[in-house]
Structure 1
């Protein structure tokens, strides 16, 4: 994908999965490799994560840390998790789940 925001999203996802494998799985990983949750739940969570990351990047609320800054990744991941949970809750309230 040529759009820089999608490239940034992918780099963040790869960094999250590498550095925090117990805390983050991309939509692809959730759907393909996670046997602990069903396909529908994996897709809903994965889509919410995608939306959260793209929104946070677009709004300038997060940015990629330098490659050697694992410490800088944790606060970004925490924002993504918080935003993902908010999106999932909004979807539940709206009856989309």
Structure 2
């Protein structure tokens, strides 16, 4: 099990936990809209770190982004395996062709 799988497992155990003693449980208690909002904030902070050309800060912000994405996926009943399967499905398909196929739906 890699570190992201381990993290997702820990996140799942925090669901329904005490929001007073767990940041993750607090996110779940606040609902999906708040989780998504926090993910957006982390995405913005990641972009800012990238633009500052600071590898250490970008790494930290990317870790925060991944964490919050895993919380959102867990809240939606999805997992890294679902994301891996989607990426595998896209394998061998040009990015432009894949994007075009989504736009016609």
Q: TM-score range by the shorter chain?
A: 0.3 to 0.5
* Structure with greater helix share of residues: 2
TM-score by length of 2: 0.30
TM-score by length of 1: 0.32
Q: Higher relative CO (CA 8 A, sep ≥ 6), structure 1 or 2?
A: 1
Q: Which has the larger radius of gyration?
A: 2
